[in-house]
Every structure is written in structure tokens, then in C-alpha cells.
Amino acid sequence: MNTLRTETRNGVGIITLTRAAEYNTITPELRDELATAIDRADADHDVHVILLRAEGPAFCAGYALAGSTRAQAGETSRKRVWDSVADYGMISQYVNVYMKLWYAKKPTIAAVHGWCIGGGTDMVLCADLIIAGESASFGYPPSRVWGTPTTAMWVYRMGLERAKRYLLTGDEIPAPEAARIGLILEAVPDSELDARATALAERMAHVPTNQLQMLKLLCNHTAENMVAGDVAAGRFAFRRNREAYAGRPRFRCARASRGISTGRSRARRSIRRLRLGAALEESCGEKDRQKENLI
């Protein structure tokens, strides 16, 4: 393989990106070799856990754009600026590979150092667990001018509000902050990154493979169902509000007036109960005084 290296050690299948001089930017060749490496590790009985890491100054600085710019130049000469279906088909080839980290039967861990931005986050956020060196940085700067994340893992990991905060600005997220807000598992000293990621992978590798597979399946399906449930609930609430309010002012006013009248009725009932209680208390007090006078 030209863009990565693989090895198996102590039950851990290690995949190392080796385009160090190019900051491990993603090319079609890297995409295809990564797909092959993940599939092989997932099928290898000697591998219990898959560990993804990289050589060089950056884990992954996003997509290598030389090929796409050449393709766009060719489209201009053919008098066609952009084909949405062709673009969707092209990017889906990359997404399907990244999602192999999520859907692999075995746990996947990513050890991140340096920059992990743009397409690098599309890839690495699909791993089950991410450990980063303290000097690592995450982010999606292309969101300021061109493109969106392709795997939607930002919302899965950070929640809606924080995902919007960073995607709508393209701001950098230092590794310690990424750990604090839940984007990654933890940030460790740079000098300890490889040792910590390897130790965690080897610790997991002591667990029987069938247990690891079932536990990962349980967690991932739960996460997917939680998001699906939230989306469904949101759609139901939207439809209900739309039916209640869109073009129905009379219904809205009638409903509001019923709510006000209901509230007033409850208040009147409460006041009557208080008056009745006070009257009973006064009556009991008068009877007690009469008994005392008789004695």
C-alpha cells in the first residue's frame, strides 16, 4: 500500500497513515486503501480492536483538492459548472469508507496529533473512541466558504447547540476543549499519545471478541435510535404546532380563552376551599369555647 501501513500486535490491528509530507490529506487512493485495511482488520480473527493513527506533523489536514480542482476545470470546458447527482455520488464513496469505522464489528480507536480538520474530522469522528495529544486541533474551517461535514458526527458527539456553535463559525477546537465538550474521549500529553492509545486498545483486546462486538452494537444502535427518536419527536411537534397555528387564528384565540377561563375557575375553586376551611376552623373553635364555658 502507498498511503498507509498495517500491522497486528497483541490483538490490535494498527492502521497508520503515511502521507506525512502531504499532511495525510485524503486522496482517492488513500480512501480505497483505508477501506481495504479496515475490512481486513475487521475480518482478521487475530484482531480484537482497530487502532488508527498517522505519521508526520498532522493526523489529517482534510481533502487533497488538486484532483477536484482539475475535475472542475474540465466541467467548465464542457459548459457544465456543477452536477449535484455526480457530486453526491463522488462524496458518498468517501463517506462509505469513513462509516466503516463506525459500522466495523470491532471497536475502533483513533490517536490524533497535530491538525485534524475538514475531511479529517469526517473520517476520525466515525471512530468509536478518539484520544488526542494536547497540542492537537480539530475544526471545520471550510464551513466558512465551501462545504459541510459529510458524516453528521458533530451533532452525535457534541449535541446540537455546540455543533452549531463550531460549524457556523469554523473555529478551531483545541484538544483539551474538544475533550471537555465531548467531541473526543480525552486529551493527553503529546509524548504519551501513542502509549495511551495503544494501552487502551490492548486493554480492550483482553475482552472476548464476541463481547466487544455485541457491546459496540448495543451502544451504536442506542445512539442511532436516540437521534432518530429526537428527530421524529421534533417532526411531530412541528406538525402539531403547524396545524394548531398556521391559518387558524380563531382556533388559537378560542384555545387561549379556554385556557384563561379554566385558570380562573381553578382559582375560584381554590378560594372557596380556603374560605370553607377557615369557616370550619372558626366553627370548631367556637364549639370548644362553649364546652369550656359549660365546664
- pLDDT tens per residue, range 56-86: 999 999 999 776 555 555 555 666 666 778 8
pLDDT higher than 90, residue 272: no
Q: What is the pLDDT of residues 137-160, one digit of tens each?
A: 999 999 998 788 988 899 989 999
Mean pLDDT of 95-113: 97
Confidence category of residue 111, pLDDT binned at 50, 70, 90: very high
Residue 185, pLDDT above cutoff 70 = yes
**In which band, very low, low, confident or very high, does the pLDDT at 40 lie, cut at 50, 70 and 90?**
very high
Averaged pLDDT, 3-29:
97
pTM for the full model? Answer: 0.75
The pLDDT of residue 6 is above 50: yes
On the question of pLDDT at 114 being above 90, the answer is yes
269-276's contacts with Cβ under 8 Å and 24+ in sequence apart are: none
What pLDDT band is residue 250 in, cutting at 50, 70 and 90?
very low
Q: What is the pLDDT of residue 224?
A: 86
Q: What is the mean pLDDT of residues 33-52?
A: 98
Q: Does the structure show a pLDDT above 60 at 260? A: no
As separate numbers, helices (DSSP H) first and strands (DSSP E) second, the chain gives: 10, 9
Angle made by CA atoms 226, 228, 233, in degrees to the nearest 5 = 95
Q: Is the pLDDT confidence value at 255 over 50? A: no
Return the bridge partners of 132, or none: 112, 187
Taking the CA atoms of residue 98, residue 104, residue 107 and residue 111 in that order, the dihedral angle to the nearest 10 degrees is: -20
C-alpha span between 62 and 140 (Å, rounded)? 9
| Contact assessment for residue 131 and residue 70, using Cβ atoms and an 8 Å cutoff | no
The pLDDT, as a whole number, for residue 241 is 53
Region 254-279 average pLDDT? 52
Cell numbers linked to 168? 457556523
